[in-house]
């Protein structure tokens, strides 16, 4: 592994007026790693870490004094917070600046895995919005689905599609976030092995890929809709030059974002169109390398024929929804592969439009399997913010919580609050999952695929 940053990268960064290459090199040589988390405001309103300090551009973000073993924290598995790089939390500030916080917005996170930016979008766009969270790689789409489930919201559709698929939804989205695959130079301090993998050839390859992704997806954005384009690269070819290419090829205007100068963020202008962009350098901010630009679509975007799709017979038992959730009024249940799901009623018809076009991995909240006589509750339901608070539950200690998360055997005496039947396992008042209480034993229903393998 090399101990030095690529000479070609430093050479190109030095072409920027005022760039401090000495400070940039020094911060990388020191190798300090910054740990930050973002709270789930629907589950956790107080920071569960000592001596944490706020991320200035995100009111739910916090820096930690050290990196704990998150795997050992039951609240991490319960979706109370997300471990996210602080620089990328600037998206929260952008949403406030452009007036989309707590709005009615149809949003697409095009390259969403593992889910940090999608969970941020759900928190700041609010419950009246709809988020389509997409990932093209199947294995990463599974990770994305898991993180969305843990966040507990129902207004998200997780999809597994190539960006080109979204051409079939012209003019549908009000917000498009493209956190584009890039050469990764912004992560050199966090992952020094990537230094040896960096090359100008890879920067060029990534730049071409970014243009393809954008060219095949921008028609999905409505007129006056916002594009948030970001990378974790320092290379101009992947950042400002891409924004210039967007404005040359399509009809977009650059949007300037105001922020506190004390934050250390650097505002840049692209060479051709003087478009605004925002760079995060680790020697100037408490975070890793990041670039983001905001553009608004100005061309008249035609849309698809939103004809009413024939409603299929809905066999979902309404009484079961009422028995297990608090969302009968503004949610609609539907059956899929023998499972009951709930989804925001506001977007019921639109979900059917999306089903005509996209491969959907998850829509709304999967309540569980319906046998015809009873519900076998799912882990998704246990994580949901819409689950009824008066269901049978047992508060457990940290040791019992960890045993549960390992899918180990549990002692009957630790579940005295419930005589029999389905029981939520709670830690600090937050649901972790399900057990079934029997006369002489506890059956642990924590999903095998996400259990803690080692303590």
8 A C-beta contact, residue 226 and residue 100? yes
Is 174 marked as a binding-site residue? no
Residue in 124, 245, 108 with CA at minimum distance from that of residue 179: 108
Is 364 marked as a binding-site residue? no
State whether the Cα torsion 136-379-105-327 is positive or negative. positive
Q: How far apart are CA 410 and CA 284, in angstroms?
A: 49
Angle between helices 90-97 and 116-125 (to 10 degrees): 30
Is 433 marked as a binding-site residue? no
DSSP string spanning 204-272? HHHHHHHHHHHHTTGGGEEEEEEEEEEES---GGGTHHHHHHHHHHS-EEE------GGG-PEEEE-TT
Is 111 marked as a binding-site residue? yes
Is 41 marked as a binding-site residue? no
The one catalytic residue among 58, 206, 232, 423: 232
Phi, psi angles (nearest 5°) of residue 82: -125, 135
Is 113 marked as a binding-site residue? yes
Residue in 237, 263, 257, 116 with CA at minimum distance from that of residue 177: 116
8 A C-beta contact, residue 234 and residue 183? no
Q: What is the number of other CB atoms lying within 10 angstroms of the CB of residue 228?
A: 23
Is 114 marked as a binding-site residue? yes
Q: How far apart are CA 289 and CA 270, in angstroms?
A: 18
Is 112 marked as a binding-site residue? yes
Instruction: Return the half-sphere exposure (C-beta side, CA atoms, 13 A cut-off) of residue 150.
Output: 28
Instruction: Return the half-sphere exposure (C-beta side, CA atoms, 13 A cut-off) of residue 380.
Output: 21
Q: Are strands 130-134 and 221-231 parallel, antiparallel or unpaired?
A: unpaired
Residue in 199, 121, 180, 124 with CA at minimum distance from that of residue 156: 121
Is 300 marked as a binding-site residue? no
Residue 80 is a catalytic residue: no
Q: Are strands 106-109 and 81-83 parallel, antiparallel or unpaired?
A: unpaired
* C-alpha 339: how far from chain center: 25
Residue in 91, 113, 11, 90 with CA at minimum distance from that of residue 287: 90
Radius of gyration of the chain (CA): 23
Beta bridge partners of 166: none
Active site residues: 232
Residues of the binding site:
111-117, 135, 162, 179
Residues of the binding site for S-adenosyl-L-methionine:
111-117, 135, 162, 179
């Amino acid at each position: 592994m090399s101990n030095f940053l690529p000479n070609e990268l430093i050479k190109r960064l030095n072409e920027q007026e005022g760039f401090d290459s000495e400070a940039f090199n020094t911060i990388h040589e020191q190798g300090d790693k910054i740990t930050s988390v973002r709270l789930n405001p629907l589950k956790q309103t107080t920071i569960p870490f000592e001596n944490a300090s706020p991320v200035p551009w995100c009111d739910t973000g916090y820096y930690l004094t050290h990196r704990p073993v998150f795997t050992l924290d039951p609240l991490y598995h319960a979706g109370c917070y997300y471990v996210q790089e602080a620089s990328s939390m600037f998206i929260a500030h952008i949403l406030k600046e452009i007036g989309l916080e707590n709005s009615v917005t149809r949003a697409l996170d095009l390259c969403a895995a593992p889910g940090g930016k999608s969970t941020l979008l759900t928190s700041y766009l609010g419950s009246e919005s709809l988020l389509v969270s997409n990932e093209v790689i199947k294995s990463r789409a599974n990770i994305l689905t898991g993180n969305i489930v843990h966040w507990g919201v129902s207004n998200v559709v997780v999809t597994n599609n190539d960006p080109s698929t979204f051409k079939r939804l012209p003019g549908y989205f009000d917000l498009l976030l493209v956190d584009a695959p890039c050469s990764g130079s912004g992560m050199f301090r966090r992952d020094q092995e990537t230094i040896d993998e960096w090359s100008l050839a890879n920067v060029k390859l990534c730049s071409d890929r970014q243009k393809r992704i954008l060219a095949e997806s921008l028609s999905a954005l409505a007129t006056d809709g916002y594009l948030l384009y970001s990378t974790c690269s320092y290379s101009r070819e992947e950042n400002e030059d891409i924004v210039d290419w967007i404005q040359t090829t399509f009809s977009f205007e650059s949007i300037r974002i105001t922020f506190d100068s004390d934050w250390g963020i650097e505002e840049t202008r692209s060479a051709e169109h003087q478009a605004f962009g925002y760079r995060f350098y680790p020697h100037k901010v408490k975070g890793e390398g990041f670039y983001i630009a905001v553009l608004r679509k100005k061309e008249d975007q035609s849309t698809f024929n939103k004809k009413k799709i024939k409603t299929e017979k809905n066999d979902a038992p309404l009484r079961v929804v009422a028995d297990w959730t608090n969302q009968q009024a503004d949610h609609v249940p539907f059956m899929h592969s023998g499972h009951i799901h709930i989804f925001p009623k506001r977007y019921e018809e639109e979900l059917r439009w999306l089903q005509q076009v996209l491969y959907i991995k998850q829509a709304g909240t999967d309540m569980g399997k319906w046998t015809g006589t009873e519900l076998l509750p799912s882990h998704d339901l246990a994580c949901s913010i819409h689950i009824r608070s008066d269901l049978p539950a047992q508060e457990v200690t940290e040791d019992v919580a960890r045993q549960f998360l390992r899918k180990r055997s549990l002692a009957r005496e630790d579940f005295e609050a419930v005589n029999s039947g389905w029981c939520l396992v709670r830690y600090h008042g937050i649901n972790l999952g399900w057990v079934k209480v029997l006369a002489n034993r506890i059956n642990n229903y924590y999903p095998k695929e996400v259990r803690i393998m080692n303590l």
